[in-house]
Amino acid sequence: MKEPLNIDWSGLSFGYMTTDYNVRCSYKNGEWGEIETTSSELIPMHMAATCLHYGQEAFEGLKAFRGKDGKVRVFRMDENARRIRLSAEGIMMPPIPEEKFCEMVKLVVRLNERFIPPYGTGASLYIRPLQIGITAQVGVKPAKEYLFIIFVTPVGPYFKGGFATTPYVITRRYDRAAPLGTGTFKVGGNYAASLRASQEAHAAGYSAEFYLDAREKKYMDECGAANFFGIKNNTYVTPLSTSILPSITNKSLIQLAEDMGMTVERRHVPEEELATFEEAGACGTAAVISPIERIDDPENNRSYVISKDGKPGPVSTRLYNTLRGIQLGEIDDIHGWNTIVIE
């Protein structure tokens, strides 16, 4: 019998909490094995494992929600299955079959049902799939053996203030990823490359840093952990680049914007265009939308004020509420994005 949980669901931060189980699957001798369940939070790993030395590692992030009707929904896990396949292929790892990925997601959510936050608390169950190369070797080459794990943890809002405008800053001193590099894959190295700029941004009072394109330093790229979008003239504008992670949240917002009758433009976004946007935001799984108050470019002594009154704009608010409503079962899921895992 498990001990009763004593969790302040409404006060949760976006952090790790021990849950009951995680699920795993190993790749050996050219094939994926059976799904295993464990309560261990540790990974037995050789010190010469390929992931530790040459970065053969990819991960994902998605969420499960307890809806108003009591059902538990996982949002767009088919897209996460597809994206981790592309990430794995991009760094020479055998991809986990998408069907097995979805099976493991559903299993780990059901096994940890008591950690799914109640409806109305603003919290959700964060799901973290992870694939690593575990072959012991010192040569620079792909591993022969891999471990795929999915663990979960209940989380609150990514930003303490929730859906509220915050300032961002452009960094010119660092690049997150190179064109035609690993920027389109969800691999740990991209996030390691963003840590210094991120910490400097936080220390200066910003929510996060924005990168410009690595080639010309002219166009908006993305945050260390989120895509960018801007709103003007009933148009949803988001950068098109060979170094940006294809955000599932951004893809969803694009569809919702089209549903609302907006025009969608995926193209280069010059930094100077920031001055013309009526609204702007950073978007991703963790925060959904983080509305932008302003974006500073301190190295050029410029500041682009997006929100004149310091509040989220009407379009961003509608997009946010619609997406959250779909995730929570409050709004009809006309695109079939949710998978009901627990009735």
Q: Name the residues annotated as catalytic.
A: 186
- Residue 143 per-residue DSSP state: -
Q: Which residues lie across from 230 on neighbouring strands?
A: 237, 280
Task: Evaluate whether 166 touches 207 at the Cβ level (below 8 Å).
Answer: yes
Q: Which residues lie across from 106 on neighbouring strands?
A: none
User: In a 3-state reduction of DSSP, which class is residue 330?
Assistant: coil
Q: Which residues lie across from 323 on neighbouring strands?
A: none
d(CA 119, CA 65): 8
Residue 68 CB coordination number (10 Å): 12
Q: Which amino acid is at 247?
A: S
Q: Give φ, ψ of 160 to 5 degrees.
A: -60, -35
Task: Evaluate whether 96 touches 88 at the Cβ level (below 8 Å).
Answer: yes
d(CA 110, CA 115): 10
Residue 247 in tokens: 């955000």
